[in-house]
Structure 1
Amino acid sequence: MTEVWVTLTTAQPRPDEWVVLLSALTALAVVTWSTSWQISRGLVTIAHEGGHALMALLTRRKLQGIRLHSDTSGVTLTRGRPTGPGMILTAAAGYVAPSLLGLGGAWLTSSGYVAVLIAVVIALLICMLLLIRNLFGVVSLLATGGAIAALTWYAPPDVDAIIAHLAVWFLLFGGIRPILELRRKRRYGRVPDSDADQLARLTVLPAGVWVMLFLLVAVASLAGGAYLLVPLPAGLG
């Protein structure tokens, strides 16, 4: 336990600036290229549904379970008052969760606490695994958690830092694309029961405003994460 504690509390040195920038470009390419996005989008869905689930627990709603589907969609089932602050916060948490998780990850990674970030992610995946109610969701979480555990167990610390940067950039960029897709789908009336539409029925704000609020949080998280991860030139810090 002493060795684990030392590993968690020992800050790792920052990787070279070119490594950070290359990680950002790689993550951006994965998010913008349709083929790689369809393969990796499920990771953003895990964060999205995890955001719903966490907020449901924080607002003391009854969490009934989470389902992840092969088309990269998901659903989080809760029980409680159909209106009120708890329901509003739970519905609003999904689309902003990947970006906020990326921002938190950027803070830990930029501070050198890569091991803490990995431990937190694995702990969250284990908690979600207890709430999954379909086979595909179980397989998805086991595959994701197993890959993270294997990489961090066998890879040296400097490789862990590169992987952490890549994952954080992916969440920061990947948190924006689903919101843009939601905005486009709503324009054609293809998602009448989206989170934004549910929030419109729960509040006085129209769905379009909620979409813009989601996007504002995602863009602000990207800006904040970039500020934390990319060192300022000498003389500007």
Structure 2
Amino acid sequence: MAAMTWQRIWSGLVGRLRASAVPEGPADTGWLAIACLAALACVAVPVLWRATRSLVTVVHETGHALVGVACGRRFVGFRVNTDMSGETVTAGRERGLARIATTAAGYPMPALVGAGLVYVGLHGYASLLLLVSWLILAALAVRARSAYTVLTLALLLGAVGALWWAGGDGLNTAVVAGAGVFLVLGGWRGWLAVLRSPDPRQDPGTLAGLTHIPRALWNALFALVMAASSWLLVRLLGAPLGAAAQAVMP
């Protein structure tokens, strides 16, 4: 009996993996509109923002880690705090292009990832994105440096895994697109917070010390990247959201 149960689970897992590699149908505009509105509410409503903002921090810190590893640095660990701050530790030279690229990757990363989620999700690969996201989160969990970080990643792993396993094509696409919108908007909100902060230990201040380029120029560069991501978001979502609006208009 137990063997048959495990066999069914294995067969279901293999079938789900194969299905993830197959392009899905077009997104349901109704679900897509609901997901985008939910993303907007999560960024705009204070109580919802406090409950969800850690996702932006996770992506921010993941950006530091991935770019650091790509540049030859060693990923040691990372931490996410309840106030949306975080810390990623990579080992390597204290100065140089690798350190600069690693430090610069944080603030633009939520917007870049958000636009990428919407683009790939709307092109039929939402389930594959969920699977890849789950694997990245699982790899990050090994390097978590605090109980809150472990809890945050555990919740994300559970939510992403459940959606990948049980969600339908239309729901997966809508949730992935909504998460992308949330990350782009949340990236802007995080950038505005650091823009107002006088703390020299923030990434723009650290970059100014590493490069002698003023922190204002680094902030402008981050804004330029986020603006490009936002433009792509509008291009991708304009038509389906317009169709959803027309469908509910009298």
Check whether TM > 0.5.
Answer: yes
**Which residue number in structure 2 is paired with residue 207 of structure 1?**
215
Any conservation in 1 of the 2:25–2:169 contact (CA below 8 Å)? no
1:226 positional shift: 2.6
**Which residue number in structure 2 is paired with residue 127 of structure 1?**
139
**Which residue number in structure 2 is paired with residue 139 of structure 1?**
151
**Count of residue correspondences:** 230
Any conservation in 2 of the 1:20–1:230 contact (CA below 8 Å)? no
- C-alpha separation in 2, matches of 1:217 and 1:21: 25
Aligned match for 2:195, one of 145, 161, 183: 183
Larger-gyration structure (1/2): 2
**Which residue number in structure 1 is paired with residue 225 of structure 2?**
217
2:78 match: secondary structure? strand
Aligned match for 1:61, one of 70, 73, 96: 73
**Which residue number in structure 2 is paired with residue 32 of structure 1?**
44
Structure 1 residue ranges (4+ consecutive) displaced by more than 3 angstroms after TM superposition: 16-19
1:113 match: secondary structure? helix
Matches within 5 A, 1:67-146: 67-146=79-158
- C-alpha separation in 2, matches of 1:210 and 1:2: 46
Counterpart residue type for residue 21 of structure 2: T
Counterpart residue type for residue 147 of structure 2: L
1:5 positional shift: 4.7
Any conservation in 2 of the 1:108–1:116 contact (CA below 8 Å)? no
1:145 positional shift: 0.8
**Which residue number in structure 1 is paired with residue 203 of structure 2?**
195
Any conservation in 1 of the 2:24–2:124 contact (CA below 8 Å)? yes
Structure 2 gap ranges (5+): 1-12, 244-250
Aligned match for 1:229, one of 237, 245, 248: 237
TM-score by length of structure 1 reads 0.90
- C-alpha separation in 2, matches of 1:8 and 1:141: 22
2:105 match: secondary structure? helix
Any conservation in 2 of the 1:17–1:230 contact (CA below 8 Å)? no
Query: Cα gap change, 1:6/1:64 in structure 2, threshold over 3 Å: closer, same or farther?
Result: closer
- C-alpha separation in 1, matches of 2:176 and 2:79: 26
Counterpart residue type for residue 39 of structure 1: A
- C-alpha separation in 1, matches of 2:128 and 2:234: 20
Q: Deviations over 1:105-144 (max 9, x none)?
A: 1121110111111011111101111111222111110111
- C-alpha separation in 1, matches of 2:162 and 2:183: 20
1:66 positional shift: 0.7
Structure 1 gap ranges (5+): none
